[in-house]
Structure 1
């Protein structure tokens, strides 16, 4: 996923720098929170497995 983000932001920078800046902010936020969401999803998964 990170490679796609990099590709999109680099290409978009050439096409529309203002939009590229906005996209970068969103992607950076997503990247900074990904481990939190992933951890929560994993925890939920194993809680449901343990209840079987």
Structure 2
């Protein structure tokens, strides 16, 4: 694994763990795709730091379980905003 990838994996993983960020949020912060963040946090991190990988996995699982709630909230806010603008 190249040094810059190794460094990015650790930075991304620590960011996700410390801030409880979603894959989408981390991708925006680090300027890479969601696919890259996901691969870094799941596959590559496992080879570097198994303990951190378990912690990050729990955050990602929590975010995945909650995404339908966040999506519903965003839709609700969208329609309330449209209603208020009319």
TM range (shorter): 0.7 to 0.9
> What is the TM-score of this pair, normalised by structure 2?
0.54
Cα-Cα RMSD: 1.4
Unaligned ranges ≥5, structure 1 = none
Answer 1 or 2: higher relative contact order, Cα 8 Å, separation at least 6. Answer: 2
> What is the TM-score of this pair, normalised by structure 1?
0.85
Residue 28 (1) aligns with residue 82 (2) = no
- CA offsets, 1:29-50, max 9 Å, x none? 0000011011101111111101
Structure 1 stretches of 4+ moved >3 Å: 1-4
Q: How many corresponding residue pairs?
A: 51
